[in-house]
Amino acid sequence: MAFSFLTQELAIDLGTANTVIFQNDKIVLDEPSIVAIDNHTGKCIAIGQKAKLMHEKTNPGIKTVRPLKDGVIADFNAAEMMIRGFIKQVNNKHKTLFTPNLKIVVGIPSGSTEVEIRAVRDSSEHAGGRDVYLIYEPMAAALGIGLDVEAPKGNMVVDIGGGTAEIAVISLGGIVQQESIKTAGDELTSDIQYYLRQQHNIKVGEITAEKIKIEVGAVIPKLDEEPEPFVVRGPNLMTAHPVEARISYQEIAHCLDKSISKIESSILHVLEQTPPELYSDIVENGIFLSGGGALLRGLAQRFTEKVNIQFHVAEDPLRAVARGTCIALKNAANYSFLMR
């Protein structure tokens, strides 16, 4: 194609917590999915990391918005600003004379409704996408993990992102059985906030709760390598005096237990519905974990004990969906599961 340099190809993993963009097999952007907006003019002041630094620290003139909730676009206007801004950031790194035609592949949750799919497509087109393809996230995760999704055998993927946990059985380039639940990273973060309020009388923001989850997040009460307890400082709910508490990973395992059990039930539910031939493939190959939730300490072990099938954590699970989206972009012509 003589004008291929005029076409720019971007693979976008539009996540509730983070947006990752791949171009030519390289990560060109990895930023939090958040926008800071001026309340008076409605203009975008900052996106990504800069906006995250403002999150929960704004004055009445500025608001920070996370445009995606539960994996889908909740604020259309902010989502468009964010996608446009991120694409602009990528383009600023590669200065070109012309505005290239954009060919984009975007990952979406497998439980998305027609309206939600439309919102992602419209936002991507408004942000400059000429050819927009959509791929279901568990399919992208499977590609990113390196599974052969077109083979006539069953592969099972559990992708625990910020907004949704996607559980899917894949065979012959299609999703055979899937469940998409809203119990995922954001829910776990608010579990931690609630627990600290109830048990320690401390009020903490989303960002601190997220930090606790990363530093001492675990789902089993006994780990081989124990992380140091996390020291939380915040106002006492009764007196407003500053207090501090040491939070151990056992406490976090206890406070996340209910939410993790919900994901377990969904995994078992999907397995119940899986055809027996594919089920035996899954028992043989194991089940693959991806997404930020896969980084919780002891998760694979807990699931393995509960389900009696071996669970494997993908390498670099945070970016599995983005890598898969990138692979799909390169083979857009051959993959029948891409939606236009």
CATH number at residue 244: 3.90.640.10
Tell me, what's the pLDDT at 18? Answer: 92
The closest alpha carbon to 199, from 142, 163, 252, belongs to: 252
Range of the structural domain that residue 276 is part of = 152-182+259-318
The verdict on 190 and 307 lying in the same domain is no
For the whole model, what pTM was predicted?
0.91
CATH code of residue 162: 3.30.420.40
Tell me, what's the pLDDT at 1? Answer: 39
The verdict on 191 and 248 lying in the same domain is yes
- Measure the CA–CA gap between 49 and 65, rounded to whole angstroms: 13
Tell me, what's the pLDDT at 247? Answer: 95
The verdict on 203 and 313 lying in the same domain is no
Half-sphere exposure of 72 (CA within 13 A, CB side): 17
DSSP for 96-144 reads -SS-PEEEEEEEE-TT--HHHHHHHHHHHHHTTEEEEEEEEHHHHHHHH
Contact between 145 and 115 under an 8 Å Cβ cutoff? The reply is no
Tell me, what's the pLDDT at 262? Answer: 96
Tell me, what's the pLDDT at 193? Answer: 95
Q: Helix, strand or coil for residue 152?
A: coil
Tell me, what's the pLDDT at 215? Answer: 95
Residue at token pair 């089993």: 220
Chunked into runs of 10 residues, the chain (340 residues) has average pLDDT values of 65 92 91 94 94 91 92 88 90 67 88 88 87 92 94 95 93 93 94 95 93 95 93 92 94 96 96 96 96 95 96 93 92 83
Tell me, what's the pLDDT at 259? Answer: 96
- Measure the CA–CA gap between 106 and 14, rounded to whole angstroms: 7
The verdict on 214 and 308 lying in the same domain is no
Considering 255, 280, 300, which residue would you say is the last residue of a domain? Answer: 255
Tell me, what's the pLDDT at 2? Answer: 41
Does 278 fall in a domain? yes
Contact between 314 and 141 under an 8 Å Cβ cutoff? The reply is yes
pLDDT digits (tens, 9 = 90+) for 106-131: 998 888 889 888 988 988 888 888 88
Tell me, what's the pLDDT at 116? Answer: 86
Query: What's the number of domains the chain is made of?
Result: 2
The verdict on 310 and 264 lying in the same domain is yes
